[in-house]
Amino acid sequence: MEDIYFEDIVLGSEQRVGPYEIKEEEMIEFGRNWDPLPIHIDKDFAASHGGLTAPGIFLLAIKMKLLHSLPVQKSVIASAGFDELRFHRPAKAGDMISLLIRWQEKRPSLSKPDRGIVVGRYFLLNGKDDVVLSHLDTVMMRLRPPLARNS
């Protein structure tokens, strides 16, 4: 896939990448390191509460990994922030997680001509296409550099 720059973002369009399978061992290890709530790491406790659930930050990490399936490594400068982040339903080991992005706003930077601001609504979906997590992401993205434009 060709590199995606600011010019390539079509408002109203959607992009979907994935899936990434939640592996139980990886999920528990992430929980032990960063979010050791019993519901994320303790199988005995979780057995009477509907089973282990994925830590929210683990889902955000998976979202970021999936985002890297898109060729944006050269263009994305940084995220300015997330809004309206919601954890809609638990995700579990074995779930096949996809990322759907709906691009909904873009504007050139007023101060720096080499970049623009792009806003997308990101949805993490499980294997049944239920929404697990969603948020708005405001991303600073480079315009296509002159050399690439001419090549």
List of residues contacting its own copies (CB under 8 A): 33-38, 55-57, 60-62, 64-65, 68, 73, 76, 78-87, 135
Q: Which is nearer to its own copies, 103 or 137 (CB)?
A: 137
Q: Which is nearer to its own copies, 28 or 76 (CB)?
A: 76
Closest CA to 136 of 79, 94, 93: 79
Say whether 103 sits in a helix, a strand or coil. strand
Minimum distance from residue 27 beta carbon to its own copies (Å) = 13
Minimum distance from residue 66 beta carbon to its own copies (Å) = 10
Q: Which is nearer to its own copies, 13 or 73 (CB)?
A: 73
Minimum distance from residue 136 beta carbon to its own copies (Å) = 10
CA distance 105 to 151: 28
Angle, helices 56-67 vs 24-34, to 10°: value is 120
Minimum distance from residue 44 beta carbon to its own copies (Å) = 15
Q: Which is nearer to its own copies, 1 or 12 (CB)?
A: 1
Q: Whose structure tokens read 């294997």?
A: 127
* Beta-strand pair 14-21/115-125: unpaired
